[in-house]
Amino acid sequence: MSLLSAHTPQPKAIALWLLVCCALIFVMVVLGGVTRLTRSGLSMVEWDPIMGVVPPLTGSQWEATFDKYKQFPEYREINRGMSLREFKSIFWMEYSHRLLGRAIGLAFLLPFLYFLMTKKIGRPLLPKLGMLFVLGALQGLLGWYMVKSGLVDKPHVSQYRLTAHLVAAMAIYGFMFWVALRLLLPDSGRANEPGRKRLRRFGIIVTASICLLIISGGFVAGTKAGFAFNTFPLMNGRWVPEGMFAMQPVLINLFENIATVQFNHRLLAGVLCLLIPAYWFPAQRTGTDSQTRIAFHLLLAMLVIQVGLGISALLYVVPVALAAAHQAGALALLTVALFINYKLGDGYSF
């Protein structure tokens, strides 16, 4: 069933709008990573979706904002003695992150209302767009829920909430990108060819593995596991680090033990280094169009780049630029995998 109404002369305008929103979400994810890496995320201790758009403007307002920050653990335990000038630098980073989130909401809502009023949105597409808007609003709430975890006893956000925030962003991005592809690229009618069906099944496994790797990366970030075991390929001289299951119950080691969290991230990356070449090779012998062939080559190239960025970030003890590039690379890898899945399956029935 078409996602467009009979009033829609061309779907490209809607698809382009959604792709612009995807690009903004991409930037938002990377900026969120930079905010975390620069320890800026806890600088704004209040959440006001409306009035929070206006930053402090006068000296007295800045002093009042800084005084509020001083009441919370991050200032008392880490930044005691920080100057107002230093506070402003982390405040502006977090402010930019929140402002971009609001901008994305407007960038989605205003064109949506325009397309709705001009009857450019077909009935099958309407609930999908409505769901995207609701998910975006909930993502804002989830972001504040994450920040609140660092304003109580410890000046660190919960790795569970941080990873949930990252996964939600990934889900919104992937969902929106898929809908845009459905509008932009027509079905080829070749989805059921035997070779393509096998590749599509393999592609689902590859994409799921990329998602798992991103999730594990959220726990690496949340536990600051990247600042430990800064050697490669061994972890402080061992393939399997000591203390991997030192915590009780055993299950929490997967999410809270720095050694286990980093080991799992390396292991999943290694699995992906086997899966993607195994996915790429048979694709060269299967009849695919030029777009899909290029996407397969790009997927392999992105894997090499992403692994290089990950190893470099680890060896250099997580510099902001390398870590942010590594986070961007993960989302780029997912984007290419989703595109290939779409092309092989003609968007499925979604």
CB neighbours of 108 closer than 8 A, spacing ≥ 6? 21, 132, 133, 136
256 vs 264: CA distance, rounded Å:
12
Dump pLDDT digits (tens) for 218-236. 999 999 999 999 999 999 9
**Domain edge (last residue) among 152, 184, 216:** 184
**Domain edge (last residue) among 132, 164, 184:** 184
* Residues 91, 44 contacting (CB under 8 angstroms): yes
CB neighbours of 267 closer than 8 A, spacing ≥ 6? none
Domain co-membership, 108 together with 80: yes
Dump pLDDT digits (tens) for 232-254. 999 999 999 999 999 999 999 99
**Residue 3 pLDDT level (bands cut at 50, 70, 90):** low
Domain co-membership, 209 together with 108: no
The token pair at 9 is 């002369």
SS3 content of the chain, % helix, strand, coil (to 5): 70, 0, 30
Across residues 164-179, what is the average pLDDT?
Answer: 96
- Among 301, 303, 302, 296, residue whose Cα is nearest residue 280: 296
Domain co-membership, 217 together with 343: yes
Domain co-membership, 178 together with 195: no
Dump pLDDT digits (tens) for 57-78. 999 999 999 999 999 999 999 9
* Length of the chain in terms of residues written: 350
Domain co-membership, 170 together with 202: no
Amino acid at 85: R
Query: For position 130, what pLDDT does the model report?
Result: 93
* Residues 167, 9 contacting (CB under 8 angstroms): no
Residue 340, sorted as left (phi over 0), alpha (psi -120 to 50) or beta, turns out to be alpha
Domain co-membership, 143 together with 161: yes
Domain co-membership, 74 together with 170: yes
Q: How many domains does the chain have?
A: 2
Dump pLDDT digits (tens) for 259-315. 999 999 999 999 999 999 999 999 888 767 888 999 999 999 999 999 999 999 999
Query: For position 285, what pLDDT does the model report?
Result: 82
Query: Which domain range does residue 138 map to?
Result: 1-184
Model-level pTM? 0.92
